[in-house]
Each structure stands twice: as structure tokens, then as C-alpha cells.
Structure 1
Amino acid sequence: MKKLLLFSFILAFTIPSKINAQRKKSKNKKTTQSLSKTKKSKKPKYADFVKKETKTDDGIFKVHESDNKYMYEIPKTFLGKEMLLVTRIKDIPAGLGGGYVNAGSKINTQVIVWEEFKNKILLKVKSYNAIANDSLPIYKSVKANNLEPVIYAFDIKTQNKDSTAILVDVTKFFSTDVKAITGLPSYFRKRYKVRRLDASRSFINSIKSYPKNIEVVQDFTFDADAPPSNSRSNTITIRVNQSMILLPEDKMMSRIYDKRVGYFSIGNVDYSSEALKADSKRYIKRWRLEPKDINAYNRGELVEPIKPIVYYLDPATPNKLKKHIKQGVDDWQKVFETAGFKNAIMAKYAPTKEEDPEFSMEDIRYSSIRYVASTTRNATGPSVSDPRTGEIIESDIIWYHNHLRSYRNRYLLETGAANPSARTLDTPAEDIGEMMRMVISHEVGHALGLPHNMAASYAYPVDSLRSGKFTQKMGIAATIMDYARYNYIAQPGDKNIRFIRQLGPYDHYSINWGYRKVPLAKTPEQETATLNKWITDKADNPIYRFGDQRFDPSSQTEGIGNDQIKASTYGIKNLKIVAKNLPDWTSNQTNNYDDLSELYGELLSVWSRYIGHVTGNIGGVYEFNKKPNQPGNIYTPVTKTKQKEALQWLQKNAFETQNWLLNKSILSNIKESGYTERILALQNRQLYTLLNTDRLKRMIDAEVVQDDFYAVSDMIRDLRSGIFSEAKYIKNVDVFRRNLQKSFIDRLATLFNSKELKNTDINAVIRGELAMMDFQLTLAKTKRVNRITKYHYRDCLAKVKKY
């Protein structure tokens, strides 16, 4: 009985345990199976991201949007393909960049590639600063020493149904502060004391996919302690447009840059060279123009390009200005005919929403002329180019609303003496339209690849610009790309004068050189002999010369004519007439002094420019770019005679007090004070330019290459003698001259203390001139002059002795 009870007791505990164990085992098995199923089911599927309610925009990549998240469906065939990422501003706060940054401004351009790496997609930036043929061994070294930066790594979410494309979530990339694509560069962040991006007020506005590009619009809001506007908000909100465009696989054949013809260019270092060093190469920037019929083109017939250059006018453009803007673009058609193309470039009005709901001025497939509501007085012609070849892909010309006011003012000031239609604040609409047309033509020139050519205005003789026959045919400079805006040389009584610039012969020459197809040439190197001949055939004609604005007096901004002294003499003669009549043409008509004040200030600037053109001759060096097989030197200093003549002219027209600028009826109605400081500032501009370190060094170097040179010691002596001319006589010194004389001493002292000039002749010359002034002023202070002149001489003497 006891045994039976014991067995029953053991059985009672054993059976439930086994049952529980079996249940636990069964439960564990089910849990394992469940976890296994869950694990398998957690692998994301295409349908998890692209659902019925998902909005899909098909294009180069499919873009999927759902629940404020954006997915890129990247075809695997596009992995590793080169694309251009262009970051530009779409909308900006008022005052950003001081008025010189606007909607449409480009912030950054970079070549990118999408690459697969393990379970990620990497977005890399490629550089073309260093290149090599990928068939050569050195290509491996170039790659190893130019590692491409990864600007973002995306997790691969899944693949599409047939595994031909990869899905990545780009939401975070486009809604956070990624510096590589930011719309607010570091210099803005520093200037406006930006602290951080506020993610709660930043978001993706839209992403649209097109056949060759994707356009992303982002709204960024930053916390900033010193925003450019709405300062109490401590906020900067900026709208940015990211354009990603597929670069052509059939690369345009590059054209080798030649500095004898003006073109913007790209450069790289080619390690494929068989020379004993890497080759630095430069190629011009230009649009790809391919003739529809190459055989007809080679026969010399005018042929339309397969893809013409088309600009769309901003819908915000005032109706009355549209025709002038359009004409400014279309004017280049005749120029391209010189290069063998007809209808190569044109302007069109932007389509309406009804005509093309997808059209966008930010879409990189379209070039545009933007009309910007801004008080800035400017216009620009930027472009986007392929850094591999120099091919211009797109450009956006920008016109600022207030720019015409600058042209009206200068039209009045520079041509009013000889041009009756300019003597008003209400410039005739026809003249305003012509000005705008030519500004647009100038900016189109930049967008075609042409930089400024300041030597073009020097090609025309000064007196030819007083001829109606000459100016109507040739304009006032050989190119629209010079800053030769108006004919300020023509004098009252000259007939049928063209006062406004126009396209010229150099424009035909440069477009032909850059865009004409060279028959049979298959590589850039095969073109060079032909291109060189086109240059040398016209090398002796100044009309076809290109010049940078640096140290060359024949290549100066805003100047016209081949003799700056003669041209500026004519210009100042006209300006004196304008100054005398300025109240009659402004305040007496409007019963308001605002325009008089504005125009008087600009009149001083015009006078300063005319003076500056002459200043450029002193210590100037002419630059005529040549190849070794061309006769003559590249660099030639200005003759001693010309430099001395220029300094004498400056003494009379800049450093002597210009009483014609001091019209009491103007000064007493525009400002309570500040006249003497204003004049001194303008005189100092010329004085400091003359006594510029680089200029003085060039004058010293002239001793080596020039037999009859204008020595630094002679120039500073002549300058001192003229500025202190009153000290030679019993003559009072007026307030303007007193200020200038003290400024001259201070400038010499600054140069004397310059470490850069410590071991040059300049130090010795200044020491000698200060000693001469010591002697001269010691005598001058004893002469019978008024009290302030005596005090002034004593003050100058104290300054001299101090140094």
C-alpha cells in the first residue's frame, strides 16, 4: 500500500512536468517558427514603399512620394554615370549678399556619381583637376592620389520587382544641413552669425523628375543672430533649387584655349603626357553647336544647328521691355552666321501653365533671362558647363530691376553735352530700349563663353568717335564685351553720332574662332594649326585684339578711344557743360533735389573714371599676347614722353582744385557738409593709384628693358613739385589743396615704412623727397601768406620731420 501511494505521488509530479515540458517545447517551437516567419516578413518589399496612394513622378529616376517621404528609384544602369549637381538659390530674403545675390544665383556646381557599396548607395563628388587616360598605368596613381569624397551614404531600402533599380530614401539628405549642397555657404553663415538649421522649419518643397534631370526645391530656415532683413526674427529662410542632370556620354570635342582670343576656360593637369612633366591643359567654354547638314556646312553654306541655343524670358518681365530683351538675344544670330550657323540662337517667351504645366525657370534643361525685383543696379550672364569638356549646358542671364536707372543717369552725364535726347530724367523710351537691348547682348556674350575684352575700345582712333559715319557703322568699340557703354567723346555740334554701344567686328571674329567647325579635325590638337592661322591672319589689326584689364593702359574698363589723354580731355570738356546745366535738367524740372543729389554724386564718379584712364599710363605696360613666331615683344612699357604728359595732365585736371565741380547752387541744396572730404577721397584714389607698390616696382623694372624710361625718382619729384606748387610762390593754399598735400606726405610715409619696399630704390627716393620737402616747407612758412596757410605749412613740416 505504501509503495502504491509513493508511486502515485511521484506520478502526480512527473506527468504535469512532462506535459508542461511538452507544452513549453511546443510553445518554443511555435515561437521560433513565428520569429522565423516575422524575420522573413521583415525584409522590405517594393510594395512596402510604393503603394497605391504613393505619388510617382517618372523621369531619369522615378521619384516616389508618400507620407512626406521621398524615395529615389535609381536604375542600376545609372550607377557610376557622371552627373552634374547644380545648387542655386530659388528665392531669397531681402538684402542677402548686399543686393548682389538674387533668385537664380548659382551657389555650387559639382560632378557626382551614384555608386553601390555593400548595402549602401554612396553619393560621390568627382574632380577633373587631374586626369589620365584610363588605359595607361599612371591612371591608377591618379585615382589613388585624388580620392573622391563621399558626401552622403544612403541605406538601400529594397529593389524594384525585376531587380533593375534600387530604392533609397532621400528625405533626410534634402531636409538636413548637408554642407556640400547648402544654399548658405560659410561666408554667409559667418556674416549673418548663423547658429544652426531649424529642422522643424525646414522641409522639401518638391522633387520633380524629367528625362535627363531631377529638380529639387528645398526650404531651409536657419537661426541667425544677424540676418540681412527682419532682424528681430533672428531667422533666415532661403529656398534652394538642386538640379541634377545627366552629363552626355558622347562628350563634346573640346577646343584648346588660346589667350590671344578671349574665352572663359576650364583647366586640368593631364598625366597622360609623354613629356617629362604633367601637361596643364585649358579648354574654352562654349555651347555644343552641330550642323544639321555637315556637308553643306563644309561647302560654306549657312546651316541650322541640330540644337540651337534658346533663352526663355521670365514671365515676370514687364511687357514694355520684352521686345528689347528678345532683340538683345536675337542680335547674336548675325554673329553666328559668321561661324556658318543660321538661327543658332534665339529668345522665346516662356510657355504659360496651360501650354506647359511642367515648365520651370529652375529646370536646368531651360536657359532663361530672369527679371529680378531688386534695387541692385546690375546684370549678369552666368552659365553652367561640363567640367570635362567645357561644354556649356545651360545659363541664366539675370537682369536687376533698377539697372536701367544707372544707364539713364550715365546717358545724361556722359552724352548730355552733345546729345539733346539725354538731357532729361525722362529718357525717350526708344533710347532706354536700345540701352537694355545692348546690356542683354553683353550678358548673352558672357553666357556664350566670352569674358570682358577691355582692349577693344582702344582699337578706334579718338577722333573717329566724333564721326557719324564711323560710329553708326562701327559703334564705339570693336566688341559689345568691352565696358564701353556710351560715346562721351563726341562734342556739341557733331552730327549723326551713335552714342550707345553695339555688337562689333571682334564679336564676329571671336565667335567664329570658338564655334566654327574645323573640317576633318578629330581631336583638339588637330585643330590648333587652323585656329592659330585664324589669329595670325588678323594679328596686326587692333580690332581683333583681346586684352585683360590689369596693368595695361590700353585695356581699361569704361574707356574709349586709343588716346586716354585726348579722350579724357574731350570727356571733361563735356562734363563741365553737364555740371553747369545739371539743376536745369533735374531739380528745376521735378521741384525735388533727390535726383540732383544722386546725379551730382555720379558726376563725380564719371570725372574720377576719366582721370583714372590717364593715371593708367604712368608705370603702365602694354601687353600684346603673341606666339614666338610672331614679331615683336609681349610686354612694352609706356614711353617716358607719354608718362610725363599724363602726369602733367593729372596735375591740371585732378590735383588742382576743380572749381567747376563746386557749384554752390548744387552743394548748398544736396547736403549740409562733407564736400571737402568727398573731393579728397576722389583725389586720393588717383594719388594712391600712382603711388601703388606694384606700379612703382614696374617703373623700377622698366630700367632693365627700356632705354628712355620714366624713373620712379623723376615721377615722385614731378608729383611733389606739382602738388606743392604753391610753396614756390607767395600764394595761399585752399582747403582742398591743404588736404591733398597732407595726404601726399602720409602716403609717402606709408611707403617708407613698408617692409615690402625696404630694400628697393623707392625707400631711397622717398627719403630724398622728404628731405626736399623739409627744405621747401621751411622756406614757405616764412612767406607772406594767410594764417591758415602758415599753420598748414608748419603742420606739414612737423609730419615730414616725424618721418
Structure 2
Amino acid sequence: MKKSGLFIAMLLLFAFSTSCKTAQKAVAAKTESEKTSKKKSKFKPYSKVVTSDAVTDDGLFKTHQVEDDFFYEIPNDMLEKDMLWVTRIAQIPSNLGGGYMNAGSKTNQQVVAWERFQNKILLKVKSFSEVALDSTAAISNSVKVNNYEPIMYAFDIVAFSADSTAVVINVTKFLSTDVPSISGLSSRLRKQYKVRSLDKERSFINSVKSFPENIEVKQDFTYTAAEPPSNSSVGSISMQVNQSMILLPEVPMQPRLFDPRVGFFTVDQIDYSSKALKADEKTYIRRWRLEPKDPEAYARGELVEPIKPIVYYLDPGTPENLKEYIKQGIEDWQKPFETAGFKNAIIARDAPTPEEDPEFSPEDIRYSVVRYVASTTRNAVGPSVSDPRSGEIIESDIIWYHNHLRSYRNRYLLETGAANPSARTLDTDTKEMGEMMRQVIAHEIGHALGFPHNMAASYAYDVEDYRNGAFTQENGIAASLMDYARYNYIAQPGDENIRFVRQMGPYDHYATNWGYRVIPEATSPEDEVATLNSWIMEKAGDPVYKFGRQSSRFDPQSQTEAIGNNPIKASTYGMKNLKYVAQNLSQWTSSQTDNYDDLQELYGELLGVYSRYAGHVVTNVGGVNEDLKKPSQSGTVYSTVDKKTQQESVQWIIKNVFETPSWLVDKNIVQNIGPEGYFDRLRSIQARQLNSLLSFDRIGRLINSETVDANYYTALEMLQDVRKGIFSKSTTDIYRRNLQRVYIDRLSYLMTEDSSRSSYNIAQSDVRALVRGELNTLQSTLRSKRNSASNQVNKYHYEDLLARVDLILNPR
């Protein structure tokens, strides 16, 4: 009995213990549940965040506006996807950046991805400049850990969609804050205008729109600034910034390797998985993805339509009378694309009406648009958005500013008016203006297709060919539309059947074929190289197919706004025409309008044209021809301009610039457009060309030619020729006195200026020894001229120059 009782007692005790443990577990579970509940409570129910009052836009992400708050609903399958974030200035204050920035200017472009980390969504910036293209290579992990992706912003998850397939974040603070990486105002501009901060009271999110492949945000920002570029009394800078977030293709396009002998915009990468014994730098061209609908027919050489053609829509605000010219400019590129094997590769369309397509928007990344902007800006631009992984151009908007045609009318009159009677008016014929607009649009489309300026294209034609009507009608005025060669300023009065306006050229067909023709058998960029090189070699040595870089400012073959293969002859013809225009400018303008506004505007631009013609000749001096080649080609890449041409160029400048061009100071013009400053206009033009001629880099190239050219034009010879040209005249008037002071000031600059910006060590070169020698020689000349001065003004002038020279040689 006792054992039985003890046994029962033990059972009861065990049961009680078990019961207690169960109860404890229940309590613990309840406590954990409460903790979990509390933890989960930080995420609000979807309906409490996206309320019935929300304005929702469905696209790449759902975006919601609830009163003043904006939310992104990011699907889980959109996390870690590559997206391109492009920041542009949508509306710009007057004179921002000194007038060299336009609405539509891109301030930053970067690849981003949304990633989840615990209860946050991170917006991370990705880089494709350093990659391991072979992801299986061991080094790929090293590339990853040594290129850790920065976090642009971190967002708390505030809710989940009802089916838990998406996260909801509040982007209000992010989009209304001055985040440096997506700001429209660079650090340089902030410093220049002494920007203090973003004024939150005058800054807000204007709109958030979601489209199938992109999200567009407009921000209106106002910054407090001590020295704003305009409206200084307000003490602030206001601008509208556009943020574009674009889904990149899941599978990148096969890239095409860049060759500098053919002009293309590019993207760069460093491939660490390359078999080269170094980090392999790879540069790909930027181009649209054009793939033939019928690859077999394409491979047989038949013209084939692309799977997805390039389509440009015209802004609904485009004036009706201009639409046909814009469409022609777009579709002028169909012929070069046919050379590349595609038909109907590029198409112009009117934007659909709201009735035809209520969802159409120029901001939708699926649509490329020629935007017509009501602005006094005189410009047109052709920006595009490209995939940094492959160079694929995804979208492009051509921006045409309303007043740009005025620039073309003015230059048409000034540069062709002598030989072209139809240009001698302020009311240019509509068809002629339409043709100019057509070519400008085609030029900007060229940029949007991936083509940079080809500044060598106008050097392909002989100067005398520009006076041949049959030649100009067939070939235009440059071998490429992408040159800055706008008008035929060489043709002379009496030349017949002349084409004065640029047009598409043979280089445009060649470059389009090189960049866009599909090479069927190639499965990698490297597989294409041999074929691409063979196409270049077929045309090597023919100036019509030469590419000249805009950055080659030392190369007389690649000059902006120049035409013809001889700058001296071309500028001589141009100056002759300009004299005729100057004599008749009042008759063609103020006599017709009965006011002087247009006369003043055109006279200012005429001085600019004159200076430009002079500058083309200056480039010959110390000039170096750049002919881009591979080592397998004969000849060198760089060769100095021959001595005779350089000497003739200096003498041309002396005759046409330093000997007073008094025809530019026409009393019928200057005395009707302003009360003063007549003499100073010429001084500024002469100073510009003299300072350019006596630049550190130009003198340095002349010194450098001593090392590679047996018959070179020396820096000393150039300095002597310039000095003699400026001081050889026996008579001295106000213009000559001005020029001589400019000359002394320039020599002082060469003796004393900090040389850190130059391409060589000036202090240890011959430059200052040569300049010192010229100053010593000049002293003797000045003493002689002072002693024989014909009047007191000239005597004082030479005494002043002597004092200036002495101060340079013997600084106090």
C-alpha cells in the first residue's frame, strides 16, 4: 500500500510538473507571440498606407500619392534588377552656367538597383566600369569585393501588398531632399553662385508618373544663393529637375568594340577576367539595337526591316508648317541605314492624339520624341540614354528651341549673302529655312544615333570645288552631316547653281554601315574585329572617309565651322564675301525694318564670323595633322604642318588682322547702334587672334617640331615675324597703338603666367628665353620710334611701351 501510494504520489507530482511546464511553455509562447506581434506591428496594413484617397499610377512600379506623401510599391521580382537613373534639368533659370547649359541638360547618369535588407529597402548604385565579363572566373569574386556598391538611400518598409508580392516604401523625404548624387546643381555651380542650402519651404515634388518601363519624377527646387546667375534681388536659384528611372534589358545587347578611326560615342569597361596580362580596358560604341526580322535574307545581302525600328514622334506642340521638314530630317537617315542592310530602320510619326492613344506620353521611355521648346534659346540638342553594360541606346529626345532658326537665318545672310541673293533679307524664304531646319534635325538625330562631330569631313573637299555648282549639288559642303560645316562661304558672286546648305554625305553611310551592320557569324565582340577592320582598310587614305576628332584643336584638318582643304584660301574667299556683306548690311536690315535692332544683332555676329575665319588660319601655325591609324598602316599618326604653310599663315594674319581691317568699322553701322566703343571692337578681335597665336601650347608645338621635322618653322621665327608685322608700320593710329599694347601685355603673360596648365614645363623650356630676347630687341625698336615720332601722342605711346617692357624685364 505504501509503495502504491508512493507511486501514485509520484505520478501526481510528475503530472503536476508536466502541467506546469506546459503552462510555462504556453505563457512563453504567448509572450513570444506578443513580441512578434509587436515586431510586426511596425508594418502597417496596406489599406492604412495606400488609402482609398490614394492616387495610384500603375507601371514599372505602382506609385501612390496620398495627400503630400508619395509611395513606391516595388514588386519582389523588381528587386535587384538593373535600372538606369538619369538626372536632367527640366527647366533652367536664365544664364545658369554662363548660358552654356540648356533645359534638358543631363547632370548625372548611374545604374541603380533596389535591394531588400531585413526590414529596409536599399537603393544601391552599381558600376559597370570595372567588371569580370566571365562570371565563372575566380577573379570575379575579387572584382565584387573590391567594388562594393554604395548605398544612395535606405528606406523603411512601411507595408506589404495584400498578396505579399510587393513592398511599399515612402519616397517623399528622398525625393524632396537635396541628394547630391541626383542633384541638378553641381558642386562647381554651388561654389560659383555661393549656394547655401535647399529652401524646403520653396521646394516640392511636382509629379511622379509610372510607365511600363520607367518612372519619371519632377522636382521643383529652390536654393538660397548669395550670387545667383539671374534675378539677384530674390537671392535664390529655382530649377525643375527631372529624375528618370529606366528598367534595363534583361539580356544586354552584344556590344561592338570601338575603333577610334570611326566616330562613335562610347561606354568604357575594365574587364578583369580578360586573358590579357592586365586589367583589359574595353570601349564599346553606343548604338541602337537593330536586329533583322529575316536573318537569312539579311545574310544574303537583301534589305530587311528591323524587328524594332527607331521611331521618333513629333511633339504635339510643333508648328504645323515645320513638321514636314522635321520628318524629312529624321528619315534622311533611312538611306545610310539601307547601306547597313536595313530598310525603314528609322521612322517619323506625329504623336497620337489623346483619342488615338490616351496613354501616350513623351516622358514614357518607350517613345523617342522631337520636342519643340518655346524658348529664346538658340540651340538644338540630341541627347540619348544608353545601357552602360553594352552601349545600347534605349531612348532619345531631340530638343529644338524655337529661336534656333534665327541663328541660321543670320548666318545664312552673313556667310552666303555675297554670292546668294536669296539670303539678302531678314524674311528668308520658307522653303530655304525649312531646308536648314531639316539638316539641323538630321544632324541632331545623328548624335542620337551615336555619332559625334566629325570635324575632318569638310577638309575632304578642295576649296575650288565649293565654287562648282554641279559638285556642290551632288556632294554638299562636307563629306558628313556631322561636321560643323553649315554654309558654303567660299562661293563667290557670279558662281552658278551653288548649294549653300549642308546635307548628308558619304561618310555618314560608311559610319552607319560600320556601326550598325549585323555580322551574322560573330558571336562575341572580339569575333567582329577582323571584319570591322577590313571595312576601315578598304577606305583608308581617302579623306572622304576620315574621322576627325573635335578635341583635336591643334589640327587644321579638323576645325569647327571650317570648310575646304586649305584654310588660307578658304578664309580669303570668306573675308572677300564678308566685306561685301558689311557694305550692304544696313541696306538689307535697317533700311527695310526702319529700326536698328537687327542691324546691331547682325553686326555683332559679323564680327564673330570674321574672327572665326581668322582663327582657322591661326590653327596652321604650330599645327599638327592627326591621322588616326593602326600600327599595321603606313605613316605616322601625327605630322607637323609644313614650314611654308605656317609662314604664309602668319603673313596672312598680319595682313588681314593686324593691319587694321577698317572696313569693319563702317560709320553707317557703328554710329547707329551705339555711342561708343568703336575702336575697342577691333582691339578685342585683334587681341583674341594675337593671344591665340602667342599661346603657350602653340609655341610649345613649334619647339617640339624641332625634334621630329628637319625643315621646321621655329618658335623664334614665328615670334620675330609677329613682332615685325606689328611694329613695321611707319604710321601709327589708334588701332595700331591698341594692338601694340596687346602685344606687350601678351609677352608679359608669357614671361610671368603660371605654367601649370600647359602640356609642358615652360619654366625649363626655351619659351621665356625667346620672349626675353624679343623684348630686348623690341626696346631698340621702341627707342627709335619714340625719337622719330610724328606727334606727341605717338611719342607718349612709345615711352609708355618702353616703360612696360622695362617693367617686364626688371620687375620692381
With the shorter chain as reference, the TM-score category is over 0.9
Which deviates further from its counterpart, 666-675 or 455-464?
666-675
Flag the 1:154–1:709 CA change in 2: closer, same or farther, 3 A: same
**1:705, CA displacement in angstroms?**
0.9
**Contact kept in structure 1, 2:420 and 2:493, CA below 8 Å:** yes
Partner of 1:582: 585
Q: Does 1:604 align with 2:607?
A: yes
Q: Does 1:481 align with 2:482?
A: yes
Which deviates further from its counterpart, 46-55 or 401-410?
46-55
Which deviates further from its counterpart, 297-306 or 83-92?
83-92
How far apart in 1 are the matches of 2:230 and 2:564?
44
The AA in structure 2 aligned to 1:369 is V
Determine helix, strand or coil for the equivalent of 1:310: strand
The AA in structure 1 aligned to 2:313 is Y
**1:519, CA displacement in angstroms?**
2.1
Flag the 1:32–1:408 CA change in 2: closer, same or farther, 3 A: same
Determine helix, strand or coil for the equivalent of 1:107: strand
**Contact kept in structure 1, 2:263 and 2:452, CA below 8 Å:** yes
Partner of 2:83: 83
Flag the 1:657–1:161 CA change in 2: closer, same or farther, 3 A: same
**1:97, CA displacement in angstroms?**
4.1
**Contact kept in structure 2, 1:732 and 1:786, CA below 8 Å:** no
**Contact kept in structure 1, 2:50 and 2:64, CA below 8 Å:** yes
How far apart in 1 are the matches of 2:428 and 2:794?
47
Flag the 1:93–1:468 CA change in 2: closer, same or farther, 3 A: same
How far apart in 2 are the matches of 1:149 and 1:749?
49
Partner of 1:5: none
Partner of 2:556: 553
How far apart in 1 are the matches of 2:95 and 2:742?
35
Partner of 1:747: 746
Show CA shifts across 1:523-543 (max 9, x none). 000000000010010011100
Flag the 1:650–1:164 CA change in 2: closer, same or farther, 3 A: same
How far apart in 2 are the matches of 1:399 and 1:762?
46
Q: Does 1:671 align with 2:670?
A: no
Show CA shifts across 1:39-94 (max 9, x none). 48835333333444444333222223334333322222221111111222333444
Flag the 1:537–1:51 CA change in 2: closer, same or farther, 3 A: same
Partner of 1:777: 782
Determine helix, strand or coil for the equivalent of 2:601: helix
**Contact kept in structure 1, 2:620 and 2:645, CA below 8 Å:** yes
Partner of 1:357: 358
Partner of 2:568: 565
What 5-or-longer segments of structure 1 have no aligned partner? Answer: 1-27
Determine helix, strand or coil for the equivalent of 1:562: coil
Partner of 1:179: 180
The TM-score with structure 2 as length reference comes to 0.91
**Contact kept in structure 2, 1:174 and 1:204, CA below 8 Å:** yes
Flag the 1:233–1:694 CA change in 2: closer, same or farther, 3 A: closer
Partner of 2:758: none
Determine helix, strand or coil for the equivalent of 1:153: strand
Flag the 1:461–1:187 CA change in 2: closer, same or farther, 3 A: same
Partner of 1:735: 734
How far apart in 1 are the matches of 2:36 and 2:464?
94
Q: Does 1:711 align with 2:714?
A: yes
How far apart in 1 are the matches of 2:744 and 2:307?
65
2:630 to 627, 642, 655: 627
**1:734, CA displacement in angstroms?**
1.1
Partner of 2:203: 202
Flag the 1:226–1:687 CA change in 2: closer, same or farther, 3 A: closer
How far apart in 2 are the matches of 1:634 and 1:736?
42
Partner of 1:498: 499
The AA in structure 2 aligned to 1:416 is G
How far apart in 1 are the matches of 2:448 and 2:127?
23
How far apart in 2 are the matches of 1:792 and 1:55?
77
How far apart in 2 are the matches of 1:309 and 1:32?
63
**1:749, CA displacement in angstroms?**
2.2
Partner of 2:124: 124
How far apart in 2 are the matches of 1:423 and 1:145?
64
The AA in structure 2 aligned to 1:420 is P
**1:754, CA displacement in angstroms?**
4.2
Partner of 1:761: 766
Which deviates further from its counterpart, 403-412 or 742-751?
742-751
**Contact kept in structure 1, 2:413 and 2:425, CA below 8 Å:** yes
**Contact kept in structure 2, 1:478 and 1:506, CA below 8 Å:** yes
**Contact kept in structure 2, 1:104 and 1:396, CA below 8 Å:** no
**Contact kept in structure 1, 2:336 and 2:509, CA below 8 Å:** yes
**1:330, CA displacement in angstroms?**
1.1
Partner of 2:343: 342
Determine helix, strand or coil for the equivalent of 1:375: coil
Partner of 2:5: none
**1:228, CA displacement in angstroms?**
4.4
Flag the 1:530–1:785 CA change in 2: closer, same or farther, 3 A: same
Aligned-pair RMSD on alpha carbons?
A: 2.2
Which deviates further from its counterpart, 238-247 or 681-690?
238-247
How far apart in 1 are the matches of 2:782 and 2:573?
36
**1:169, CA displacement in angstroms?**
1.9
**Contact kept in structure 2, 1:90 and 1:362, CA below 8 Å:** no
The AA in structure 1 aligned to 2:705 is A
Regions of 4+ moved over 6 Å:
31-38
Flag the 1:760–1:103 CA change in 2: closer, same or farther, 3 A: closer
The AA in structure 2 aligned to 1:711 is T
Which deviates further from its counterpart, 780-789 or 138-147?
780-789
Flag the 1:713–1:94 CA change in 2: closer, same or farther, 3 A: closer
How far apart in 1 are the matches of 2:93 and 2:694?
42
How far apart in 2 are the matches of 1:657 and 1:777?
20
Partner of 1:16: none
**1:100, CA displacement in angstroms?**
4.2
Partner of 2:20: none
How far apart in 2 are the matches of 1:552 and 1:574?
25
Determine helix, strand or coil for the equivalent of 1:369: strand
**Contact kept in structure 1, 2:213 and 2:365, CA below 8 Å:** no
After the TM superposition, which residues 236-635 of structure 1 pair with which residues of structure 2 at under 5 Å, given as runs? 236-549=237-550, 550-635=553-638
**1:114, CA displacement in angstroms?**
0.8
How far apart in 2 are the matches of 1:738 and 1:55?
72
Determine helix, strand or coil for the equivalent of 1:537: helix
Which deviates further from its counterpart, 695-704 or 137-146?
137-146
Identity of aligned residues (%): 62
**Contact kept in structure 2, 1:71 and 1:167, CA below 8 Å:** yes
Partner of 2:797: 792
Show CA shifts across 1:603-641 (max 9, x none). 111111111111110100001011111111111100011
Flag the 1:523–1:446 CA change in 2: closer, same or farther, 3 A: same
How far apart in 2 are the matches of 1:374 and 1:227?
21
How far apart in 2 are the matches of 1:41 and 1:562?
76
Flag the 1:462–1:140 CA change in 2: closer, same or farther, 3 A: same
How far apart in 1 are the matches of 2:753 and 2:190?
35
The AA in structure 2 aligned to 1:431 is E
**1:99, CA displacement in angstroms?**
4.3
How far apart in 1 are the matches of 2:467 and 2:721?
33
The AA in structure 1 aligned to 2:280 is D
**1:226, CA displacement in angstroms?**
4.2
Show CA shifts across 1:559-610 (max 9, x none). 1000111111111111111111111111111111121111111111111111
After the TM superposition, which residues 639-654 of structure 1 pair with which residues of structure 2 at under 5 Å, given as runs? 639-654=642-657
How far apart in 2 are the matches of 1:391 and 1:41?
44
How far apart in 2 are the matches of 1:183 and 1:75?
29
Partner of 1:189: 190
What 5-or-longer segments of structure 2 have no aligned partner? Answer: 1-26, 756-761
**Contact kept in structure 2, 1:241 and 1:362, CA below 8 Å:** no
How far apart in 1 are the matches of 2:98 and 2:693?
30
**Contact kept in structure 2, 1:99 and 1:375, CA below 8 Å:** no
Q: Does 1:65 align with 2:65?
A: yes
Determine helix, strand or coil for the equivalent of 2:539: coil
**1:220, CA displacement in angstroms?**
2.9
How far apart in 2 are the matches of 1:537 and 1:761?
44
Q: Does 1:695 align with 2:698?
A: yes
Flag the 1:355–1:192 CA change in 2: closer, same or farther, 3 A: farther
**1:372, CA displacement in angstroms?**
1.9
The AA in structure 2 aligned to 1:280 is E
